Amino acid sequence: MTMLYSLLFKLIFTRFDPENVHHFVAGCLKVGSKLGLTKLFRLRDSQVRKVDAFGLKFSGPFGLAAGFDKNGELIEPLADLGFSHIEVGTVTAIAQPGNEKPRLFRLTQDRALINRMGFNNHGASALAARLTKLRATKKSLPIIGVNIGKSKITPIEDAVTDYETSAKLLAPLADYLAVNVSSPNTPGLRSLQDVESLEPILKAVLKQSGSKPVLVKIAPDLANDDIVAIAELAMSLGLAGVIATNTTISRTGLKTNASKIEEMGAGGLSGVPVRERSIAVLKLLNRVIAGRIAIISVGGVETTADVAERLKRGATLVQGYTGFIYQGPFWARKINRELAL
């Protein structure tokens, strides 16, 4: 089936705009879920390696990173496909359309994507309403993380209030919150990774989180000293963990023609080219954190061997996104089954 998807991807999907294909696939998942077809992808519990992390019981170590399901519309079908947790978002306090299109590009030679989506989402209130309705069904659900970011129109100096607003609305409905200060596609956002700017944001989110775990997501482009400083801040504040890493602004070592990359323009690069730096950041965090809080490793994850390596190097959980685009709907199921062997 993976080979069939690869053929479909190469012959059909690559002919169309990536964002349009995403919407088409999302529509298929919704229909498949309503018809009960996505449940055919499920594995037996005995075929999945379970994980206990920051007070939550995960059905497996492998989840879907933020960015695929921005508005929490695909949680059930994505869980059917084998993801132990779905991190929805990034969501902002104020609904926003994101950046101008085109804003999503494939680098098929590199098995990578460049995106400058700009946190397009329906807003924290809309997501809260959707999650309230979903929770009311009393269905068995995966772990639901909610990734929150700053609204574009909110000035940097008001970022604390913006994050606090989202946290207040969404913490009661999420299993955990992830604070995103590392996307390269919102002007000035990455400046919030400076510990002096980050500390009041994390304190505000923690205040609104109640007993829900809070994690912070960081960029791969940070200097090692800054990564250490954020890890130490996370531990001192009592955060549940660090998610490492987001997309990179680097274009080093790509196989795709340089003129094509320049034509695509600015944005965050994800996929296989991020793997090396993501592993380096994981190793650094593991030395600093030493098991005191969780590490969710993401970036360049595509194979079962990638997931196994991250777990071996100290990751509590592993996430992927770009690999899903290139590997197709059986991706998580395959990884779970092979990890259990």
What CATH code is assigned to 2-339? 3.20.20.70
* Mean pLDDT rounded to a whole number for the chain: 93
Distance CA 239, CA 286 (A): 15
Q: What is the pLDDT of residues 228-256, one digit of tens each?
A: 999 999 999 999 999 999 999 999 999 99
Distance CA 100, CA 98 (A): 7
DSSP string, 268-301: EEEEGGGHHHHHHHHHHHHHHHTTSSEEEEESS-
The region that residue 250 occupies, defined by phi over 0 for left and psi between -120 and 50 for alpha, beta otherwise, is beta
Distance CA 54, CA 238 (A): 11
Q: How many CA atoms lie within 13 A of 72 on its CB side?
A: 28
pLDDT score, position 38? 81
183 included as an active-site residue: yes
Report residue 218 as tokens. Answer: 């960081």
Q: What confidence category does residue 43 fall into, taking pLDDT thresholds of 50, 70 and 90?
A: low
Whole-angstrom CA distances from 338 to 60, 183, 238 are 12, 32, 34
pLDDT at 341 over 90: no
Distance CA 329, CA 144 (A): 19
pLDDT at 324 over 90: yes
Query: Considering the entire predicted model, what is its pTM?
Result: 0.94
Determine the Cα angle at 83 with ends 316 and 6, to 5°: 115
Give me the catalytic one of 183, 270, 278, 297.
Answer: 183
Report residue 23 as tokens. Answer: 């919407």
Distance CA 298, CA 312 (A): 14
Report residue 1 as tokens. Answer: 């089936």
Domain spans in the chain, listed from the N-terminal domain onward? 2-339
- Contact call for residues 306 and 339 (beta carbons, < 8 A): no
Average pLDDT over residues 62-80: 96
pLDDT score, position 184? 86
Report residue 309 as tokens. Answer: 């390596």
Helix (H), strand (E) at residue 317: strand 317-320
Helix (H), strand (E) at residue 200: helix 195-209
